[in-house]
Amino acid sequence: MGYLQFANRPEIRRNILDFGKPSQEYEEVKQKLIKQATYFVFDPESSLFAPVKFAAISKIDMVKYRELQKSNVPDFDGHITMLHMRSLGLPEDTENLKDKFIRWANKYKIAYNFDKGPVIFSL
């Protein structure tokens, strides 16, 4: 599969919207990714979040994400995708987005302990 291409800001917004679409087929995959992720990105226009590991990849969808999970692509890493968010100048806004994030994560039946993360960027 080679190296990944990282998303620009408009693609990140599309990826967040795509991650937020209801899908029975991928609900379990999304829950697992949310539980494992440390870095998230928030879209203020839609009030949705997505894991950075998903949102930072150009032309991603759940099918491509599943393929990447099974691959050995070196860039498919939460830390590397977080560095991409920083390179775009996206601000970390964890403190201000905590309450919105908790409500969003609860929709996936996930509770977060903010003593250990997550880190939330704002688009």
Of residues 70 and 8, the one with the higher pLDDT is 8
What pLDDT was estimated at residue 4? 81
Please give the average per-residue pLDDT across 19-42, as a whole number.
Answer: 90
Please give the average per-residue pLDDT across 67-85, as a whole number.
Answer: 83
pLDDT in tens, 49-61: 999 999 999 999 9
41 near 15, Cβ under 8 Å? no
Identify whether 118 is preceded by a cis peptide bond (ω within 30 of 0).
yes
On the question of pLDDT at 1 being above 80, the answer is no
Q: What is the residue-averaged pLDDT of the chain?
A: 88
Closest CA to 22 of 32, 14, 30: 30
Strands of the 39-43 sheet, one edge to the other: 48-51, 39-43, 119-122
Tokens of 82: 């977080």
Residue ranges covered by each domain of the chain = 9-122
pLDDT in tens, 90-114: 999 988 999 999 999 888 887 776 6
Task: Please state, in angstroms and rounded to a whole number, the distance separating the CA atoms of residues 88 and 85.
Answer: 5
On the question of pLDDT at 36 being above 90, the answer is no
pTM as predicted: 0.90
12 near 41, Cβ under 8 Å? yes
What pLDDT was estimated at residue 70? 84
25 near 103, Cβ under 8 Å? no
